[in-house]
Structure 1
């Protein structure tokens, strides 16, 4: 079985962070715009360091009320500045703990938008280039292309706990089958992704998945159970950064 990274969104105010860190290899830490503050960033970095987990910045639109899941219309230059502001906030917190931010993975609505919006994707890629950080995102998407244009290393990811459509995009959260919660089902999907490079879409089609990193959402009440089941089937994971 080939080696993969297992990443999770953390520092978002949910109760299971301390139980999740031992199960993952990379942590996407909220930088204050959708969740988190200096104290939560410092705690998350300290936990990551104690478990040998790589720290990544998890910036979003400025949308605490909507947890970063609402689309925002914003000029590209302003978006680039906001992403850089969040990276620097996490870097400052990490320095206080003796840690380092190693990559960038956008959150929520921003993540989804830059998968198909070339202008916003370019803004995020410019921010990553300025910050000298690799980008984690959806393979074959607008952000993948933008990262390559700006000379930013790009790491493709897939979601262990989300349903896929036949075109390889995620089932919208408002639709049935969007979020997967059965630990054994999710673990089996992960093994198939790793061994065959494919996943079954919600409509039955077999979809190619080219991913170096797999994500489980830390805000899911089933996150610990899902990650535990995955690690039973995939005993060793390795950070990409």
Structure 2
């Protein structure tokens, strides 16, 4: 791997709700540089959001809003048809809820990433993507900050964000299978989630280096991105994130949040 490679490591945090705990937030915060915090629509609640924001700020981890369809029972992974004006308002609402706790902790929300079914939908659906970005723009006006948008390379979401003048960040997944055209294999399909820790680490190193992965059909696929995701709800996610972090550092990769442009 060439010297000077820089990548962000992100994970989904705060996805518990009430008495149910799903993600090992404290352990994940020891490994990641950016935290996608659930905003209450697919997971998370006010107390969890407040706690995760405070602990992320203490550790210097950048806070992002992980927005979703309003689907707490289905963990945001069920397909929904939400009217664009309603979806736009729901996106702004979720970012605003997290912003209260993120700004109280110090830094405020820095970026936005869709979750689950919404993430997949805005990969190819331009109307839903535009609605999401409209909601982000409402939040930008309220906060006075241009929030970055994290998404799949070539997605309608990133195209809409770029058209709106927002910073965009490409994302790849070490623990998800890819189709030959670079999209994620739907979770309902066999082997959509990569569970072998050794394979996850190998895929993370390949993504950072820009070397080919094996796609779901056995073909070769090169995936490059500025941010690398390890899902927080995967069994053993905290240990997996730690393994990925260690392997990247050992390979000479600098881990740095994509919002940090200092070059340190």
| TM class, shorter-length | over 0.9
Alpha-carbon distance in structure 1 between the residues aligned to 2:104 and 2:170: 30
CA distances 1:189-218 after superposition (whole Å, capped 9, x unpaired): 111111125322022211121200010110
Structure 1 runs of 4+ aligned residues shifted over 3 Å read none
2:13 to 4, 10, 14: 10
Alpha-carbon distance in structure 2 between the residues aligned to 1:65 and 1:203: 32
2:28 to 11, 20, 23: 20
Kept in 1, the 8 Å contact 2:122–2:156? The answer is yes
CA distances 1:83-134 after superposition (whole Å, capped 9, x unpaired): 0000000001223323411000011111110001000001111222332311
Stretches of structure 2 lacking an aligned partner (at least 5 in a row): 17-21, 141-145, 260-264
Q: Verify: 1:175 aligned to 2:201, yes or no.
A: no
1:202 to 212, 216, 222: 216
Q: Verify: 1:238 aligned to 2:259, yes or no.
A: no
Kept in 2, the 8 Å contact 1:147–1:153? The answer is yes
Moved more, 144-153 or 57-66: 144-153
Alpha-carbon distance in structure 2 between the residues aligned to 1:222 and 1:166: 28
1:44 to 49, 52, 59: 52
1:212 to 226, 250, 262: 226
Alpha-carbon distance in structure 2 between the residues aligned to 1:158 and 1:15: 20
The aligned counterpart of 1:101 is: 109
Q: Compute the RMSD of aligned alpha carbons.
A: 1.3
After TM superposition, give the deviation of residue 46 of structure 1 in Å: 1.2
SS at match of 1:161: coil
Work out the number of aligned pairs and report it: 241
Alpha-carbon distance in structure 2 between the residues aligned to 1:219 and 1:146: 29
